[in-house]
Structure 1
Amino acid sequence: MQQRLLGGTGLAVSRLGLGTMGWGRSTDEHEARDQLTAFCDAGGSLVDTAFTYSDGASEEILGSLLGSAVARDEVVLATKAGVGVRRGQRYFETSRRTLLSCLDTSLQRLGVDHVDLFQAHVWSDAVPLEETLAALDQAVTSGRALYVGISNYTGWQTAQAATWQRAVPGRAPLASTQVEYSLIERRVEREVLPAAAALGLGVLAWSPLGRGILTGKYRSGTPSDSRGADAAMSGFVDPLLTERNRTVVEAVARAADGLGWSPLQVALAWVRDRPGVSSAIVGARTTTQLATSLATDELELPPELAAALDDVSSEEQRP
């Protein structure tokens, strides 16, 4: 699998990343082992998790597999902090205390002394930006992280954070920003991607399959084994089941039929090769599903089809 440098750093990551949000919830340890092995065998390196995924089970499962299923140095290990549950309430907080405490817990779960990439999972209006960034600096200077990044920041937030880090000598520059990006979620193209390009941040695209909608599985209803049918996850999917997005899905399906690919592969190849994208992060419930995504690495979307999909999914088409 092709490796790409993460933004302006020397850190190489695979152009497809392995997402582990479902590990410990919809994917058990046995299936996770098979996924991680298949991913690394295909040349994948970037494995992304977070403090909050499956209430910590994602990191714990991944930690149990490092050194047994795959060698630690085979993966670029990325995690995030700033989202969690405290006293039964979900919180979004990026204070120094929260970020560094979560990082220490993540390292313990993962069974490692450092991660390759530590990311602030969200922006917090309640916490001064300089405090959040100082915590990222401390993660690097203390040896707990080699690189740092941000996630789910708007364009102006991305520019402010990256500029702050570049303006002060000795600070750890931001390596990346992780954002939702797909054929049905292109709003990051307005400001986030230009800011990332101008300031040397690599883009990690999460949910490149439009939360599963671009696979075509919802074309004739909601499958019983899908996220949309899961009471805990339906709110993640339902807002995207719009007429505009159905038009995009049908265009993806037509392109797939013409190429002899799956709709998943068309949608994933489109995101993977967008300007500025270092890696498109794919998650799967089963190894069989993951194999379809990994097979995309050998495929290149014809330019004329990419342009047609650009047109049908453009922001001008959004109601």
Structure 2
Amino acid sequence: MEHRHVGRTGLRVSRIGLGTLTWGRDTGEREAADLLKAFWEAGGTLVDTADVYADGGAEYLLGRLMADLVPRREVVIATKAGGVPDPDRRFDCSRGHLLSALDASLERLGTDHVDLWQVHAYDPLTPLEETLQALDTAVSSGRARYAGVAGFCGWQLAKAASWQLAAPGSRTRLAGAQMEYSLLQRGVEREVLPAALDLGVGLLPSSPLGRGVLTGKYRGGPPPGSRGASEHLAPFVAPYLDETAARIVDAVAIAADGLAVTPLQVALAWVRDRPGVVAPVVGARTARQLQESLSVESLTLPDEICRALDDVSAPVHRYPDHDWSTL
């Protein structure tokens, strides 16, 4: 599998990442083992997790499987910290909480370092400088090799990345930003992606298949066993089951028919090759689903297909993003 640099750093990862959101909850040890082995055998390296996935169960399961299945040196572990099980405060990105969470992650993962450590979201109750100091401490102590953020909007990313670049050598530059990005969710193109491109931060798209909707499997309603049919994940899928999404899914299906590939492959190839994207993170339930995602490695969409998909899924930004030079 082809590899790419994460932002303007020396960290290189496979251009498809493996997500573990359901590990330890909906995905058991045997299924997770099949996924990790298939991913590694295909040349995949980037495995993304978080300390809140299954309340730490995903990290624990990943750590157990790495000990038995794949060499640690051949896996790029990306994890996140900052989420808390508190309905009144979903995120705590104080230095104390973050560094304690990192130590707990390392213990569950059974390793002395993670390759990419990410702040899971912006915490308005903690000064951003304090949050970023935790990233510096993690890297300088060797517990993390690189640092990034997730879920930051445009101004938050720009402020964080600029702060880290203000004192070269003493602060850790942000390598990556994880954000949802797909043909059904192109909001990052308004401010996040321009900021990332300008500041040398690589984009790691989550939910690149529109939470599974872009595969076309929801065209007749949520199928049994899908996330959309799951009690706790149905609300996650529901926003992408409207008429606008259906029109985009139909366009993806038409493109797939014309190319003799699947809608999944078309949707994944589109986001993988967008400017600034490093590696979409896919969350397959089975090894068969993962193999379909990995097969996109040999697919490059023709320019006319990309333009058609761009047009049908184009977000409406208007002011201040309108290109007034065209008037």
TM range (shorter): over 0.9
Q: Conserved in 1, the CA contact under 8 Å of 2:92 and 2:126?
A: yes
Q: Conserved in 2, the CA contact under 8 Å of 1:284 and 1:290?
A: yes
Q: Could you say which residue in structure 2 is the equivalent of 1:73?
A: 73
**Could you tell me how far 1:90 is from its partner in structure 2?**
6.7
Q: Conserved in 1, the CA contact under 8 Å of 2:106 and 2:113?
A: yes
SS in 1 for 2:47: strand
Shift of the 309–13 alpha-carbon distance from structure 1 to 2, 3 Å rule, reads same
Q: Could you say which residue in structure 2 is the equivalent of 1:265?
A: 265
Determine if the alignment matches structure 1 residue 29 to structure 2 residue 41.
no
Using the alignment, how far apart are the partners of 1:304 and 1:184 within structure 2? 19
Matches within 5 A, 1:31-50: 31-50=31-50
Write the deviation string for residues 285-312 of structure 1: whole angstroms up to 9, x where unpaired: 1111111101111111111101100000
Write the deviation string for residues 58-100 of structure 1: whole angstroms up to 9, x where unpaired: 00110001131000011111100011325x8772111111111
Using the alignment, how far apart are the partners of 1:134 and 1:41 within structure 2? 37
More strand by share: 1
Using the alignment, how far apart are the partners of 1:21 and 1:198 within structure 2? 30
Q: Conserved in 2, the CA contact under 8 Å of 1:214 and 1:267?
A: yes
Counterpart residue type for residue 110 of structure 1: L
Using the alignment, how far apart are the partners of 2:121 and 2:99 within structure 1? 15
Q: Could you say which residue in structure 2 is the equivalent of 1:127?
A: 126
Counterpart residue type for residue 61 of structure 1: L
Write the deviation string for residues 120-179 of structure 1: whole angstroms up to 9, x where unpaired: 000011110001000111111111000000001001100000000000231011001000
Q: Could you say which residue in structure 1 is the equivalent of 2:99?
A: 100
Question: Which runs of at least 4 in structure 1 moved beyond 3 Å after TM superposition?
Answer: none
Q: Could you say which residue in structure 2 is the equivalent of 1:195?
A: 195
TM-score norm. by structure 2 comes to: 0.95
SS in 2 for 1:208: coil
Paired residues, what number?
317
Using the alignment, how far apart are the partners of 1:89 and 1:41 within structure 2? 43
Counterpart residue type for residue 53 of structure 2: Y
Q: Conserved in 2, the CA contact under 8 Å of 1:244 and 1:317?
A: no
Q: Could you say which residue in structure 2 is the equivalent of 1:152?
A: 151
TM-score norm. by structure 1 comes to: 0.97
Matches within 5 A, 1:174-253: 174-253=174-253
Q: Could you say which residue in structure 1 is the equivalent of 2:275?
A: 275
Counterpart residue type for residue 302 of structure 1: P
SS in 1 for 2:68: coil
Q: Could you say which residue in structure 1 is the equivalent of 2:56?
A: 56
Using the alignment, how far apart are the partners of 1:113 and 1:85 within structure 2? 25
Q: Could you say which residue in structure 2 is the equivalent of 1:172?
A: 172
Identity over aligned residues, as a percent? 59
**Could you tell me how far 1:316 is from its partner in structure 2?**
3.0
SS in 2 for 1:31: helix
Once the two structures are overlaid, the 10-residue window that deviates more, 308-317 or 68-77, is 308-317
Counterpart residue type for residue 95 of structure 2: R
SS in 1 for 2:130: helix
Q: Could you say which residue in structure 2 is the equivalent of 1:163?
A: 162
Q: Could you say which residue in structure 1 is the equivalent of 2:324?
A: none
C-alpha RMSD of the superposition? 1.3
Structure 1 unaligned runs (5+)? none
Using the alignment, how far apart are the partners of 2:289 and 2:141 within structure 1? 39
Determine if the alignment matches structure 1 residue 141 to structure 2 residue 140.
yes
Q: Could you say which residue in structure 2 is the equivalent of 1:13?
A: 13
Once the two structures are overlaid, the 10-residue window that deviates more, 90-99 or 206-215, is 90-99
Counterpart residue type for residue 40 of structure 1: W
Q: Conserved in 2, the CA contact under 8 Å of 1:18 and 1:48?
A: yes
Q: Could you say which residue in structure 1 is the equivalent of 2:323?
A: none
Q: Could you say which residue in structure 2 is the equivalent of 1:300?
A: 300
